[in-house]
Amino acid sequence: MEADIDRILIPRQRIAGRVRELAREIARTYEADAADGLTLVTILSGSIIFLADLIRNLPLRMKIGLITVSSYAGATTETRGAEVLQDLNVDVSGRHVLLVDDILDTGGTLRLVRARLAEYGPKSIRTCVLLRKPAKAPPDVPAEFVGFDVEDVFVVGYGLDYNDHYRNFPDIGVLREELYAS
Ligand code: XMP
């Protein structure tokens, strides 16, 4: 697996430190709202490791919701229009929702999910992403909490995949281009 990684972009210690900081920012924001109920909605599958680390640093009463969205078809790095594969599994009406995603790239995935969630009548929707590619992220898709802004390269590890591989790589790395360039 390591042989397929060109370089480490964000080592695991930096990720861990930033996740703790993000959790503090989020806890401060939702302190006053706690009584209304908070649901973290995570987008599968890329966010699983981020979510697991984030919530263990968040001393708030919360529920977890899951939604499955496909952005890529298999062995490709091109976003082809997001599609909901499995809808949200919890009721968020009247609750504060924090959407948790791995990366805000072209914004298609989060635009779709925010619109879907808005239909369910939550009290508020905010978004937390571990990574954002500022070169591409569109202005109509806000992210209130951002772990790291990264350059426009294809990254894997810490939950992020290429063709469902590399999710278990503990750092965030840049995949060797010859592995996906056609
Ligand atoms: P969009 O373009 O819709 O992308 O903002 C969001 C989803 O696409 C996946 N994605 C990536 N996955 N390395 C990955 O492993 C990347 O560089 C990358 N860019 C986008 C990811 O699942 C994200 O939720």
Catalytic residues: 105
Q: Which of 31-40, 69-78, 147-156 has the lowest mean pLDDT?
A: 69-78
| CB of residue 101 inside a 6 A radius of ligand 1 | yes
C-alpha 72 – ligand 1 centre gap (Å) = 8
Given this model, what pLDDT does residue 82 score? 85
CB within 8 Å of 4: residues ≥ 6 apart: 166, 175, 176, 179
| CB of residue 92 inside a 6 A radius of ligand 1 | no
Given this model, what pLDDT does residue 110 score? 96
Q: In terms of Cα–Cα distance, which of 32, 96, 31, 99 is closest to 60?
A: 31
| Nearest protein Cα to ligand 1, atom 4 | 105
CA distance 46 to 40: 15
2 has pLDDT over 60: yes
C-alpha 104 – ligand 1 centre gap (Å) = 7
Given this model, what pLDDT does residue 73 score? 53
Given this model, what pLDDT does residue 59 score? 92
**Amino acid in position 10:** I
Given this model, what pLDDT does residue 78 score? 65
179 has pLDDT over 80: yes
Residue 42 and residue 101 in contact, taking contact as beta carbons nearer than 8 Å: yes
List, for residues 18-60, the tens digit of each pLDDT value.
999 999 999 999 988 777 889 999 999 999 999 999 999 999 9
> What would the mean pLDDT of 131-143 be, rounded to a whole number?
93
Residue 71 and residue 108 in contact, taking contact as beta carbons nearer than 8 Å: yes
| CB of residue 180 inside a 6 A radius of ligand 1 | no
